[in-house]
A and B are shown apart, each in its own frame.
Chain A
Amino acid sequence: GAVVSQHPSRVICKSGTSVKIECRSLDFQATTMFWYRQFPKKSLMLMATSNEGSKATYEQGVEKDKFLINHASLTLSTLTVTSAHPEDSSFYICSAIRTRGNEQFFGPGTRLTVL
């Protein structure tokens, strides 16, 4: 149990386009999901906390208008990178916490490359 999936696993897009990444908890309900960004050989940086049915909480320095987060259901959160630029290229990872619990279960990540 406690599987988190992400789709797509890899995406290549042109500069200026928008990309949507989905994060799903497959076998549990997740009131809270998190979005991280990881640069090569670096640690995970929390971008935002997403709570079902409410607005996401963004970490300092993360542009909320650029990284749109929607958590419409207890099993799905989406991250949309708007007007993507090459510097947005990164590995994006989501995680989810069970509705009653504190352990984070991570998704497999999405590799975004912006040309």
Chain B
Amino acid sequence: QQQVKQSPQSLIVQKGGISIINCAYENTAFDYFPWYQQFPGKGPALLIAIRPDVSEKKEGRFTISFNKSAKQFSLHIMDSQPGDSATYFCAAMRDGGSQGNLIFGKGTKLSVKP
């Protein structure tokens, strides 16, 4: 049973546009929601993360929106650039539980066209 559902599977955005990736989770015990960026042949890198006590977190061009009641969270990339082309994974974890037991979504391949 997939505990974190991510969509879309792939996304094509024009340079300067907004990229939006959505995730939904099932386990209400999750309380830490990170997003990772992965380039081909590289390990994932933490992009931004949020906890349920806030509804939005912004770092530069990257924003996480969090809807606790709907059990959904999304990543918005503003002013998307070709260098943002990568695979993005959302994840969820029960902080303080089995330490570091991240549950990953299936990933979204983002292509930003010049």
- Spell out A's residues near B (CB within 8 Å): 4, 6, 32, 34, 41-44, 46, 49, 93, 95, 97, 102-109, 111
Q: Does B12 contact A (CB under 8 A)?
A: no
A26 CB → nearest B CB, Å: 14
Question: Are B100 and A109 closer than 8 Å at their CB atoms?
Answer: no
B41 touches A111 (CB 8 A): yes
B contacts, CB < 8 Å to A:
32, 34, 36, 41-46, 49, 89, 93, 95-96, 98-102, 104-107, 109
Q: Is A106 a contact of B44 with CB atoms below 8 Å?
A: yes
Query: Do A93 and B44 have beta carbons less than 8 Å apart?
Result: yes
CA distance A43 to B34 in the complex (A): 15
Interchain pairs with CB closer than 8 A, number? 54
- Return chain B residues, CB-CB under 8 Å to A4: 43
A-side interface mostly: strand
Partner of B89, one of A6, A44, A109: A44
Q: Is the CB of B95 within 8 A of A102?
A: yes
Q: How far is the CA of A18 from the CA of B106 in the complex (A)?
A: 30
Having A41-B107, A49-B99, A109-B41, one finds 9 other A-B pairs with CB under 8 Å, namely A32-B100, A43-B106, A43-B107, A49-B98, A102-B100, A103-B46, A104-B100, A107-B43, A109-B43
Once bound together, how far apart are the Cα atoms of A43 and B43, in whole Å? 12
| Contact A102:B89 (CB < 8 A) given known A43-B107, A111-B41 | no
Query: B100 contacts A49, CB within 8 Å?
Result: yes
**Complex: A104 Cα to B45 Cα, angstroms:** 9
* Complex-state Cα separation, A44 to B98, whole angstroms: 17
Cα A47 to Cα B33 in complex, Å, equals 20
